[in-house]
C-alpha cells in the first residue's frame, strides 16, 4: 500500500512557518522529512501567491503568514487558511487593540 497523508507538504511548511517564523529552510526540511530544495520551492510558491511574506531580520529571515487568505481549491474558497492552521495547532497572535489617550 502506498504511503499517503491527509496534510500536504505545502500545509506542513505553512504551519511550521506560522508556528516558527524564524525557522530556516534546512531546519524545516529536517522537521518535515523532505529535501531543503523542496522546502525552498514551496516557500517560493507560497510567497508568490502572498500566503507568506519574508522580512530580513539580522542574519536570518522572519516569515509572516497571511491567515486571512482563502484556500486555493474552488470547493474551499469560502474558508481561510487560518482555520486550517488553527486545527494544526497554530494560535494567531492578537494585535493590541488598546486606544491611546
Contact between 29 and 38 under an 8 Å Cβ cutoff? The reply is yes
Q: What is the CATH number of the domain that holds 80?
A: 1.10.10.10
Q: What is the pLDDT along the chain (101 residues), one digit of tens a residue?
A: 568 888 899 999 999 999 999 999 999 999 999 999 999 999 999 999 999 999 999 999 999 999 999 998 888 888 999 999 999 888 877 665 565 54
- Is residue 82 one of the residues assigned to a domain? yes
- Is residue 62 one of the residues assigned to a domain? yes
- Is residue 4 one of the residues assigned to a domain? no
Domain that holds residue 67: 9-87
Convert 8-38 to b/e letters by CB count within 10 Å (16 or more is b): eeebbbbbbbbeebebebeebbeebebeeee
Domain tally for the chain?
1
- Is residue 65 one of the residues assigned to a domain? yes
Give pTM, 2 decimals.
0.83
Amino acid at each position: 500500500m502506498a504511503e499517503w497523508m491527509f496534510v500536504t507538504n505545502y500545509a506542513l511548511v505553512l504551519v511550521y512557518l506560522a508556528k516558527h517564523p524564524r525557522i530556516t529552510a534546512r531546519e524545516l526540511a529536517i522537521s518535515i522529512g523532505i529535501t531543503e530544495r523542496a522546502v525552498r520551492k514551496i516557500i517560493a510558491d507560497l510567497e508568490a501567491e502572498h500566503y507568506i511574506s519574508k522580512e530580513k531580520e539580522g542574519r536570518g529571515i522572519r516569515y509572516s503568514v497571511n491567515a486571512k487568505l482563502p484556500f486555493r481549491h474552488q470547493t474551499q474558497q469560502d474558508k481561510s487558511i487560518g482555520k486550517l492552521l488553527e486545527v494544526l495547532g497554530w494560535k494567531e497572535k492578537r494585535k493590541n487593540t488598546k486606544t491611546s489617550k
